[in-house]
Amino acid sequence: MTEEKEIKNCPHCGQEVFAKAIKCKHCKQFINGDPGLVQEQEALAYEEGKGFFASLFDLSMTEMITPKIIRVIFIIGLLGLLVSAVFGLVTAIMSGEVVAIILALIAVVVGFFVAVILLRIYLEIVVVFFRIYDELRYLNKR
């Protein structure tokens, strides 16, 4: 059973969008006809659009910087895990025992992937908290 979606044209660019859409997916403009709501949404979008350095030196602490640098944190974490894995392999190789090298290779590979999964889960939880904060802040402003 398929539902027919209501379609309308964006008042800004004329492209087709869903009737319930708040923002046009083509031109990124707000569609809602309520001027007060549109102004609130545009103000919130402007606040969220602050650059890295503006957020870094935001003395009011209202602009969060962590969501802007979460990818960098993930890459640094991956590099740290990679260095640890290489260090573990080098240590096993320096021992000179074949069994130790094979066991270290297995342990390093499994440990590396488990650590990457845990790092990713942790950072995703952090991002979820920031998204919850953003949604609550948006709802509070309405």
pLDDT higher than threshold 60 for residue 56: yes
**Rounded to an integer, what distance in angstroms lies between the CA atom of residue 23 and that of residue 42?**
11
Share of the chain above pLDDT 70, in %: 83
Q: How many residues does the chain have?
A: 142
Domain ranges of the chain: 64-141
Higher-pLDDT residue of 117 and 38 is: 117
pLDDT at 33: 56
pLDDT at 2: 45
Q: State the Rg of the chain over Cα.
A: 24
Higher-pLDDT residue of 32 and 85 is: 85
- Going by pLDDT thresholds of 50, 70 and 90, the confidence category of residue 76 is very high
How is residue 28 written in tokens? 């990124």
pLDDT higher than threshold 50 for residue 1: no
DSSP state of 16: E
**Rounded to an integer, what distance in angstroms lies between the CA atom of residue 25 and that of residue 18?**
10
How is residue 115 written in tokens? 């650590």
